[in-house]
Amino acid sequence: MLNAPVSSPLKGVFWMLVTGLCFVAVTALVKMVGPRLPAAETAFLRYALGIVFLIPMVRPILRAHLSKRQVGLFATRGVLHTAGVVLWFYAMARIPIAEVTAMNYLSPVYVTLGAALFLGEKLAMRRIMAVVVALVGVLIILRPGFRELSSGHFAMLVTAVTFAGGYLIAKKLSEEVSATVVVGMLSVMVTIGLAPLAIAQWVPPTPSELGLLFAVACFATAGHYTMTLAFAAAPVTVTQPVSFLQMVWAVSLGWIGFGEQLDVWVIVGAGVIIAAISFITWREAVIKRRQVTPLVGQTKV
């Protein structure tokens, strides 16, 4: 009989800190690439240059003997994630890092709604109130009518929806196949989905741009790996709060590295959304229900 894994909160916190730093590095590198390359091409190169990391996943995928239904679900998730990745890269080149990070926190909120609508989970009053509070946080960030909104803001609103949809499908598939197959098939489907979009508006990348995007692939892969280690080491109620430090790092990075002005309304709005997500996660843990809200970072590129 196998021994149950021992919880190690300190290890969980450490690996989630590393995860956050990896994803902040992804954000910084994408920001450095800038808007010269079309968003679809930038996203495609990120995945294509990371193909090397898929090699160990080929055998598990082939051994899974996926059914037509499962392939269809993977394809649907690929379409959703492809759209989300393109929009994320588009937004990163056009609005401040802090705003991209703050609005990305919407994905767990959409997952809560989607789980009730499509997976038959009960939408209790506490969840409804948390969703309402999170949407208030979005209004604080965007402040419609008080400032001009750019296409990047609208892109992030849709990005959160597509990532949430992809996560719900992944949740269903994770009950049927291994995590390796879920991750590997996502990379395969997204690379295929991005290819025609990238070719349609191809701009020859410079060697420095290729180098930056390969680094993006490395940090993104490392981030997903260390996040898995964090999940294995400690409960979600321990690791979730640590993931919110990404907002602190994103604000600092935008201010110090890219000269972006600090916007107190973005910070306040992000705080409101974070509070809503934290409440949902805490309540789910208290009543020992199955946790469905993804950590911030699970929806990253």
pLDDT at 153: 93
Long-range contacts of 64-69 (CB under 8 A, 24+ apart): 64/177, 64/178, 64/181, 66/177, 66/181, 66/185
Whole-number percent of the chain with pLDDT over 90:
33
Q: Does the pTM exceed 0.95? A: no
Residue 3, pLDDT above cutoff 80: no
Residue 4, pLDDT above cutoff 50: no
3-class DSSP state of 208: helix
| CA distance to 20, 47, 86, 297, 299, per residue, from 220 (Å) | 10, 10, 15, 10, 11
pLDDT at 291: 46
The mean of the pLDDT values for the chain is 84
Residue 148, pLDDT above cutoff 90: no
| CA distance to 13, 138, 282, 293, per residue, from 8 (Å) | 9, 34, 19, 21
* Of the ranges 37-41, 102-106, 138-142, the best mean pLDDT one: 37-41
Looking at per-residue pLDDT, the higher value among 120 and 209 belongs to 209
pLDDT at 232: 73
pLDDT at 228: 73
| CA distance to 39, 88, 106, 160, 172, per residue, from 83 (Å) | 11, 9, 16, 10, 20
Whole-number percent of the chain with pLDDT over 70:
89
pLDDT band at residue 297 using 50, 70 and 90 as cut-offs: low
DSSP 36-74: SS-HHHHHHHHHHTTGGGGGGGHHHHHHT---HHHHHHH
In tens, the pLDDT along 48-85 reads 998 888 888 889 999 989 999 999 999 999 999 999 99
